[in-house]
Structure 1
Amino acid sequence: MNAAHTPPSGINSRRRFLAGLPAIGLIAAHAADEAPLQDIVFGSCLDTHDHPMLDRTLTLPRDLFIFMGDNVYADKGGIPMMQEKYALLKNSRFFKGLKNKPILATWDDHDFGENDGGGSYPHKKEAQVEFWNWLDEPASSPRRQQEGVYQAQTFGPVGKRVQVVLLDTRYFRSPLKKVPKDKAMLGGSYVPTDDTSTTMLGAAQWSWLSQVLQQPADLRLIVSSIQFAPEAHGGECWANMPHEQQRLLKLLQGQTAVILSGDRHWCEFSHNGVYDFTSSSMTQKHPRGSPTPNKFRCVPKTYHLPNVGQLHIDWSAATLTAKIFGTEGNAKIEQTLAFKDLKVA
């Protein structure tokens, strides 16, 4: 390995460095000497860095932590506020407690810099710089050079490989279709569009994703800051662009995959071609306390207090267990699925 490809230290470990390189063989060769992932903890929406749920999160078994967006709330004070909020998170007891294991992250609107923001946000390039600064991404990293914070990482040896694909649903996203308030749904004013020229991920990210999903993996975790599987509910979700929703399902066809999502400030498990486990918010109680209708909800129960999600992989049984934990430490929602049931039809 030449000097230009010296792996970084800290949370940007050698495995993350290799994942950023174009050579698939390098990823596989590195993964061969790793222990397989067993426990993945995932969460979203942190408006404070001192909360009992964050302390509880640090007690959970964890081989990897995934920030799924709204990692800071910095959409009202420009880049200076963003820098301040990231500094507070970076120096928090919670973030320091996570750093003994790998960390991966994507963003949502509040850390992107504009509430419900998309591709037209004028300061998205500056926001991306601050995102990577927070994670100590090296100046020479390929991720610094691309537009958008999408990325992928493969963990584990052959036969037990987990690929984590983190999507960017902000940087390239087209404007959403909106109706007047008197025609809005319970969750808001956004409605599905029939304009197939609109995009959720943008051409470059779609092209990258189609290549990434060809890499070998025994289980794929697709991280989307907004919900994928639920029916349209008035808020931001993939159902607002049905053609893009179908495009992702087509790419995932035949794959053993699940989607992890956040944003909603409550938890629910859904299935609409693929399983979608929503965990949100880590530090906030949902003010209404009731969910929007969702015909694709596959577990009847929802949860609306501070929470975090956890996946446990039982490689010998070939099963995946998804759980939502509250501050008390007991599971509020739980579902176990065989790998064969996770295959996208």
Structure 2
Amino acid sequence: MKKQQLFLVIVLLLHTAISFAQDLVQSGPMLGYSTMREALLWVQTTKPATVHFEYFDKKQPKKRFKTEKYTTQVNNGFVAKLVADQVLPGKKYTYELYVNGKKVKRNYPMEFQSQTLWQWRTDPPEINFAIGSCTYVNEKRFDRPGKPYGSGYEIFNAVYDKKPDFMLWLGDNTYLREADWNTRTGFLHRYTHTRSLKELQPLLASTHHYAIWDDHDFGPNDSDGSFPLKKTSAEMFKLFWGNPNYDALDTGGITGSFQWGDLDFFLLDNRYYRTANRNFTGERQMLGKEQIDWLINALASSRAPFKFIAIGGQVLSSEAMHENYATFPKERAYLIQKIREAKIEGVIFLDGDRHHTVLSRMKEAKNVYPLYDLTCSPLTSGAHASKEEYNAYKLEDTLIGEHNFGILNVSGPRTDRILNIKIFNKEGKELWSKEIKARDLRYKRR
């Protein structure tokens, strides 16, 4: 065989091997949490395969690092969660995915970042993060007849184009259907189907992701703590997401927290401990006293200028309807009372669920700062142009009844941080913006 022919055969074999490796990837790669010393990398294959990641500082490409190798298995949905643990603070890394020893190529950048070590050195970094909720991906054989409920998948390209540091998914991140929620097999299918959406892949690979759940990715519509497969639900959530911690109460749910720069995020579970919506026979709870007390303690220890509390449903809205917290008035009053008693500053609630977006502002008395609640929904599921007629705290000019997402920017010196909220439609066009100063979320000093 001539040298030229041999060369062509080798090139063809390499191309075939690379193509085969790419065919073995079901979804991802996806970035999970990031810290100053490690980051989580996630991928799902189509069948058992040995996977690992290699990565390097963009400024030092010759010094390469590898994660451990892991062979995916059918019993965990062929998912691999691997840790890049040889990173240094404030760096940007290029990473590569290898399946059965072959590099998987993508036509978009695969990069992650480590968080900045700024304390005692500089002002905190500028931070950009995306928020959104309610992602429905159509699958005709399991969907209701008629007009598809999911659409507008290009919204994920619009989020990707904004280049956020991370994205916080605010629940209903997938929609379990009647064929799904009674079995572990159904859970695996639904999570896999949603995660495999083509338009989602560039965003997964380039942005760090954190998440909470609401009813549709926990179980049936309006599901609560009586759901018999709630342990399976928690297992699936932990398998497909990459939060740095879960179950802070050690009682089975997904409560947790994380930091980014000088910001603190508290991820609450509004399903695992919830009383059924129509059960009024005793004490009613959505979060439960134990979770609220954990939250107050965690908030009290935080020095963050903005303390973001992520929860699946609206907190401040005074509409006692649907699944708003106002339908649990006693527990909601307890939560707000404890925030005020502890003199916790800088609180902003982030939530989804309602299939429209609105910013609510509550100020109970002259001597307290206003609490804010940003509802951001939906990403791809059906949108509703609700007017929130009975929400006394809504800001009228922030009501949005179409597919949308938010980009939150925090900037400024350490002692004078400013939050800028921008809401965009599915094409990435800005719909509204609001500015909130950290100093306006403080108690007046005598």
Q: Normalising TM by the smaller chain, what interval?
A: 0.7 to 0.9
Structure 1, residues 38-62: CA drift from partner, whole Å, max 9, x if none? 1111000000287111111111141
**Partner of residue 293, structure 2:** 207
Q: Could you say if the C-alpha distance between residues 56 and 137 of structure 1 is closer, same or farther in structure 2, counting changes exceeding 3 Å?
A: closer
Task: Pick which of 250-259 and 230-239 moved more.
Answer: 250-259
> 2:260 aligned with 1:155, yes or no?
yes
Q: Bigger CA drift: 91-100 or 244-253?
A: 91-100
Q: How does 1:70-81 map to 2 (within 5 A)?
A: 70-76=172-178, 77-78=180-181, 79-81=184-186
- Matches of 1:312 and 1:33, distance apart in 2: 19
2: CA distance, partners of 1:271 / 1:176: 25
Match of 1:117 among 207, 217, 223: 223
2:110: which partner in 1? none
Render the CA deviation track for 1:60-102: whole Å, top value 9, x for unaligned: 1411200100000004222323211211333334155234332
- Sequence identity of aligned pairs in percent? 25
* Secondary structure, counterpart of 2:253 in structure 1: coil
Tell me, yes or no, if structure 1 residue 56 matches structure 2 residue 162: no
Counterpart for residue 182 of structure 1: none
Using the TM superposition, give the Cα deviation of residue 142 of structure 1 relative to its aligned residue in structure 2, in angstroms: 6.0
Could you give the per-residue CA deviations for residues 210-236 of structure 1, whole angstroms, max 9, x where no partner exists? 221122322111111100111124210
Task: Give 1:251's match in structure 2, choosing from 338, 351, 362.
Answer: 338
Equivalent residue number for residue 340 of structure 1? 439
Structure 2 residue 209 is matched with structure 1 residue 100: no
- Compute the TM-score of the two structures, normalised by the length of structure 2: 0.62
**Hey, what does 1:328 align to over in structure 2?**
427
Please state if 1:86 is matched with 2:191.
yes
2:274 to 173, 176, 200: 173
**1:177-326 equivalences in 2 (<5 Å):** 177=278, 197-216=283-302, 217-253=304-340, 254=343, 255-273=345-363, 274-287=371-384, 289-293=385-389, 294-316=391-413, 318-326=417-425
Structure 1 range deviating more: 143-152 or 197-206: 143-152
Go from structure 1 to structure 2 and tell me whether the alpha carbon gap of 1:13 and 1:336 turns closer, same or farther (over 3 Å shift): closer
Secondary structure of 1:324's counterpart equals strand
Deviation of 1:132 after TM superposition, in Å, equals: 0.5
Residue identity matched to 2:314: Q
C-alpha distance 229-63 of structure 1, shift in aligned 2 (>3 A): same
Q: Between Structure 1 and Structure 2, which shows a larger proportion of strand residues?
A: 2
The equivalent position to 2:132 in structure 1, one of 43, 60, 68, is 43
1:164 aligned onto 2:265: yes
Following superposition, the deviation at residue 278 of structure 1 comes to 0.8
- SS class of match (1:208): helix
2:227 maps to a residue whose letter is Y
Distance 1:337 1:283, change over 3 A: same
Deviation at 1:295, TM superposition (A): 1.6
Q: What is the CA-CA distance between 1:261 and the residue it aligns to?
A: 0.9
Cα 1:230–1:343 shift into 2, 3 Å:
farther
- Output the CA distance in 1 between the equivalents of 2:33 and 2:417: 30
Name the counterpart of 2:117. 33
| Cα deviation, residue 12, structure 1 | 4.1
> Greater CA deviation, 235-244 or 48-57?
48-57
Asked if 2 retains the 8 angstrom alpha-carbon contact of 1:266 and 1:280, the reply is yes
| In 1, Cα distance between equivalents of 2:288 and 2:440 | 30
Q: 1:263 to 1:142 in 2, by over 3 A?
A: closer
CA shift for structure 1 position 106: 0.4
How far is 1:206 from its partner?
Answer: 2.3
The corresponding residue for 1:24 is none
**Aligned residue identity for 2:329:** P
SS of residue in 1 equivalent to 2:397? coil
Alpha-carbon separation, structure 2, partners of 1:245 and 1:269: 18
Residue identity in the other structure for 1:332:
L
* Alignment TM-score, normalising by the size of structure 1: 0.79
Separation in 2 of the partners of 1:39 and 1:336? 14
1:307 Cα deviation from its structure 2 partner = 0.5
- The C-alpha deviation readout for 1:130-181, integer Å capped at 9, x for no partner, is 011112579xx6649641111101222xxxx100111111100112248xxx
Structure 1 segments unaligned to the other structure (5+ residues)? 1-8, 19-29, 179-192
Contact 1:36 1:155 survives alignment (8 Å): no
Deviation for aligned residue 1:36? 3.2
Structure 2 residues not aligned, in runs of 5+: 1-29, 40-113, 119-123, 139-151, 364-370
1:246–1:165 CA distance, 2 compared to 1 (3 A) = same
